[in-house]
Amino acid sequence: MKRDQKTPLRPHNSVREPAFRLSVTDGAELTEALRCGATRREVMGWLMASGMTATVAGTIIGGASNALAQTPKKGGQLRVAGFSSSTKDTLDPAKGSFSTDYARGFMFYNGLARLDESLKAQPELAESWEANADATEWVFRLKKDVTFHDGKKLDAQDVIYSILRHKDPKVASAAKTLADAVQEVKADGPNVVRVKLAGSNPDLPVLLGTYNFLIVKNGTADFSAAVGTGPYSVKEFKPGVRSVALRNPNYWKSDKPHVEEIEFFGIQDDAARLNALLAGDVHLMGQLDPTAIPRLESTPGYAVFETKSGQFSELVMMEDRAPSNNADLRAAFKYLFDRPRLVKTLLRGRGVVANDQPIDPTNPFYCTDIPQRVQDFEKAKFHLKKAGMENVTVPIYASDAAARSIEMAVLLQQAAQQIGLKIEIQRQPADAYWSNTWMKRAFHFAVWNPRPTADIILTLTFKSDAEWNESRWKSPEFDDLLLKARSEFNDDKRKTMYCRMQQLIRDDAGRAIVCFSSFLDGVSSKLKGLRPIPLGNFGGGQFAEDVWLDS
């Protein structure tokens, strides 16, 4: 179940698809890889897999300004291929855990707020909100005259039900932990909802703009269909097969949506999904493999849609067990990664280097003042010597479950040879990686999906007592700052606090966070209006009401 919380970035069928592919133009990288000890078979594999790609520079479409400059056209049938599809597909916002579920959710429902490109909460079903001084009590005023697909008017009871159901253990909501911070939700008239929190949280509107907190009709228990207030209604939904969404003619945003019908289904295989796009069978495909970028860009009529995000890849070094309990050994590892090269080769430049802390440049609280850590064999050697571990062999666990971790491990292994450190790569099957290896082995790779606020990601995995504190890092100063930042409304003061927290993690935590990768979708140039919301593929799941088809 852990895996659901950390939505896998790749489908689990990567068996025949090498995750790491270089184009033939990366000759220098390959020669180096060979010299540095990648086996001949590995390198041949990379070459074969790169196939007939040609590196042709292309244009990135997207960007709200570009899309909004044109007048949207009405109508048309949009076909979209997601990358996960199983009988687990759901229309219940409490249950969904894959980006296909998110995309469906935003077709059929609305949240109280909606997140924009900089992850700020904009009014949606709530037209305004305010909080008391310490952000523990909130008042949300609902828009009037919003109706559900069945004609019922939206009122405070629907909102109360939608929030409180996450606290019911029987619902088994993915957002239970977040909802447990809500102490009380009550109506103040038909269109006002008062929310009382157990602790202060200035980010509450952002939380309520995320997928799990989409608003369902009061009392809904059967989610075989979705009766929401969203831009589309359900025409058909078959888990593991497809959904068909029909334009909601009575949508409360009178100028939206634009498309008449959206057919949404899953193609798990990366290559098949790309082929479906290139053959004109779909207009939009989720999760483009970075190695396919040249092929897509060299085909006229198609483009890559990039959404920069805080999705990060890391090497976890657990502080409570050997050999990673040695601080100097951990420090040595942080100096071994050639981060720009990882971004260039593994992500094909669609990402940014990270600085051993999890807040990325799309986040309003990203700290620009911390010096970037770079590959430095001298420092790495120094720390290794200080640790007295020059002659040990360190096992490192990697798996396809943590996207691109096997390739990172190979590159790390090569770099480690430079300082005389031996690394043994333990490749694990994707199926049970999150339950059997993650947070169980001293050195292992992990990937985290972006979270809507800095507070959430820091609380989830860096707070001393967090269940998913992967490296068992404990810092009273950090915990203290995290709590203080929650009751601070002044953005400048909050930024100073978050900056300090980022510095603490970078310097001290047993986490080598090496890069932030962008979400990539493949799109037909007929499709316009996509906006990059930094939370995931398909414009953070919110593409449905913005997009339109240009004939």
Partner 1 sequence: MRWSIDGAHDVIRLIAGRLGLGAVTFLVVTLIVFAGTQLLPGDVAQQVLGPSATQATLAALRHTLGLDQAPYVRYLSWLGRLLTGNLGVSLVNGLPNSELIGPRLLHTLLLAGATAVFSVPFALVVGAAAAMLRDSLFDRVVTIVTLCVVSVPEFFLATVLVLIFAVKLGWVPAISYITEFHSVGQLLRSLALPVVSLSCVVVAQMARMTRAAILNVMNSPYIEMAILKGVPRRRIILRHALSNVIGPIANVVALNLAYLVGGVIIVETIFAYPGIAKLTVDAVSTRDMPLLEACAMIFCSAYLLFVLLADLFAIVSNPRLRHPK
Q: Which residues bind partner 1 (CB under 8 A)?
A: 1-2, 4, 12-13, 16, 81, 86-90, 169-170, 172, 176-177, 224, 238-242, 265-269, 271-273, 275-276, 278-281, 431-432
Amino acid occupying residue 416: A
Distance CA 472, CA 465 (A): 8
- Asked if residue 104 lies in contact with residue 264, where contact means CB atoms within 8 angstroms, the answer is yes
> In whole angstroms, how close is the CB of 413 to partner 1 at the nearest point?
29
CB of 409 to partner 1, least distance (A): 25
Nearer to partner 1, 245 or 514 (CB): 245
CA distances from 510 to 176, 317, 476 (A): 28, 5, 16
Tell me the closest approach of the beta carbon of residue 361 to partner 1, in angstroms: 33
The least CB distance from residue 266 to partner 1, in Å, is 7
Cβ closest to partner 1, residue 228 vs residue 266: 266
Distance CA(274)–CA(268), nearest Å, equals 11
Task: Tell me the closest approach of the beta carbon of residue 52 to partner 1, in angstroms.
Answer: 9
Measured in degrees and rounded to the nearest 5, phi and psi for residue 339 equal -65, -45
- Residues ≥6 apart with Cβ < 8 Å to 388: none
Q: Shortest distance, CB of residue 92 to partner 1, whole angstroms?
A: 10
Which CB atom, from 152 or from 238, has the smaller least distance to partner 1? 238
DSSP strands (E only) in 295-421: 302-317, 351-353, 393-399
Instruction: Report the residue number, 2 or 74, with the smaller CB distance to partner 1.
Output: 2
Q: Least distance in Å: CB of 141 to partner 1? A: 33
Nearer to partner 1, 79 or 444 (CB): 79
Nearer to partner 1 by Cβ, of 90 and 248: the residue is: 90
**Distance from the Cα of residue 309 to its chain's centroid:** 7
Closest approach of partner 1 to the CB of residue 170, in Å: 7
Q: Measured from the CB atom, is 265 or 397 closer to partner 1?
A: 265
CB closer to partner 1, 66 vs 268: 268
Hey, what are 159's tokens? 């909102």
Q: Which is nearer to partner 1, 189 or 280 (CB)?
A: 280
Measured over the CA atoms of residue 31, residue 37, residue 39 and residue 42, the dihedral's sign is negative
Residue-wise over 481-497: b if at least 16 C-beta within 10 A, else e? bbeebbebeeeeebbbb
Token pair in block for residue 73: 């056209």
Q: How far is the CB of 2 from partner 1 (least distance, A)?
A: 7
Cβ neighbors of 408 (< 8 A, separation 6 or more) are 313, 315, 337, 342, 346, 398, 445, 514
For the CA atoms of 328, 334, 337, 339, the dihedral, rounded to the nearest 10 degrees, stands at: -160
